Chains A and B, each alone.
Chain A
Amino acid sequence: MARKLKLRIWRGDSTSGALKDVTVDVNDGEVVLDVIHRVQAEQMGDLAVRWNCKAGKCGSCSMEINGKPRLACMTQCASFGEEETITVTPLRAFPVIKDLVTDVSFNYKKAMEIPAYEHPKDLAPGEARMEQVDVERSQEFRKCIECFLCQDVCHVVRDHEENKKSFAGPRFFIRIAELDMHPLDTLRNRKKTAQEEHGLGMCNITKCCTEVCPEHIRITDNAIIPMKERVADQKYDPVRWLGSKIRKREGIL
């Protein structure tokens, strides 16, 4: 059964913009992306919106709905009150291109700064064997769909543009953690570079990244804090530091 839904959609570009009111039909079961498409088809033909799978798996339709970073395709219209006006804006941590579309290239630059997996030199392709218990921690992080909602909500860059130079962000901390926990990765300085080059120490673990993750990856508890502890092992724990010097344990951990 159709009903009317009131929306406020941000229209504009990098020079100016404003919230525009619009009323649109909504049917049972529809999500915010559906009604945005209806607005685009019936009332705002030039409304820019990025989308692709409509199934919460491509990470394209990231936007802010009533001020919260969310996937529009996974946000049920029924979750809002009938009299409520839903405010839809682009991600507020990234430069806006047009309407609901932002320039997320910051994230691709950061991705390129993370060194890739390094395979053991004495293992030929196809010879590698790993046990499930050794890889399941990393597998959680592979669920990431790169919607960049965690990057958007992280106040380190959201509220401080200047930190973008030195801070990789939660999406890339789970990438670093995934590789550092990988049983076969041979690159040994990931902890050091996480702290000194990718800005791990700037995270103050307020867990907003975890709260917005549509894949429910426990970014803070399972990636960022374990990485902070691994860094503490190397940089802030004199007993561990002495032990590693004496016993050269790094190679067997």
Chain B
Amino acid sequence: MTSDIPDLGAVFWPVGTGDSGTVVISEDVVVQVDLNHRASAEKDETQEVPVVDLLVPTLPEGEDGNPYLAAFVLTHADADHCSGFAKLLDEVTIGELWATPRMWREYLGDPKGPDLCEDAVAFHDEVKRRVEAIKKAVAAGNEPSYGDRVLIVGYDTGHDKHAYSDLPDEYLVYPGESVTTIDGVDHEGRFEAFIHAPFKDDCAEARNDTSLAMQVTLTEDGGKDGKVLLFGDLAYETIMKIFNYSEDKDREEYLEWDLLLAPHHCSKKVMYLRENNKDVLQTDILEKFENHAREGAVVVASSKEIPTSDTDGANPPHKMAADRYKKIVDTFICTAEWPSKTDPSPVVFGVDETGAHILDDTTVEESAKVLDLSKAAGDGRQRLRKVAAAATAAGRYVSGATTAEATKQLSGPEKVRAAVAADRGTTKAPTTAVGFGRD
């Protein structure tokens, strides 16, 4: 862990169960992957986390004078991935939107209109607007206007039925391809997103299974890189397909990871299949994860606290999934518990000349405090720090959601021994004679 915040990395916001990831590629290029903005505590289980309010002031200024977000990537259109999009779109100029074909399919498949939240509808409307705008621009032989770009990610067997299918190839990208260009600017050598999913075969599956999955590689000037695997809300079958597909194609470098965002907010469905009303562990996927993990890799669960036990039918996060990840990596992080349940900090993934690592929470907190001073000093390398500082503020919103645990946390061995003692009925084993005689 380093004592300062580098200029390349990503911030995973502590926003309960939901995704808000901000990738800082350079001072001027910031990409948001999913969004879980909560203006107020709408339901009991969610807390007020005004991500958009906190994020917008940290963004660079665009050519139109508004705050500028180079791209917004939506893995899938569930509320915990796109809440606050309408507000964001309103306050920020978004250079490029990354969308999957899924929503066209949903509108097409259900004449009454799909079950989508307002922000998802807003997203789809904006995507449709941009598709038409680009088509118009292309027809006129022009580049798309500022804030009009869109990238359609993934296959759909019903391509022909959708309006976007008329877009030129540069606005379409498919699994197995890499993207280095954001909002018309190529960032090769600094940023690469390798698209793993959605697969064509899954396009008719449940919405989660059509999530965008990709590996993001961030490379600093000296050549050190950090790799983040993002699987959205995919589950076992699709993730295994991703692993097997890339292994078969000998492109295992696109499976490597320094940071794995635990799919579907640490869902057990990643490694358990339901058979005869029982969850059956699939160890093969654990091996896949472990085999492709790089030295010092971490798993980040973007969720509320991991429960102390699982109940059947409960939504993620699942303890049984967290337990399995803990075996795979040295560090497992739940955004709601990092570094502690009572005082969460954002998970800041940085890439610098020493490689990829999670920044020490105190470094992040300290950086937040000195932010204003640095700004005064005109430090050019501020973007990631600013985002991290804003996300630190987000942590304050969720803090206090849990009462501080008065009792000291037991270590694993202590828990095991407590179980042994409980089962035995006493802390010590029955005394046996200690004597010798044989050798």
| Chain A complexes with chain B | no
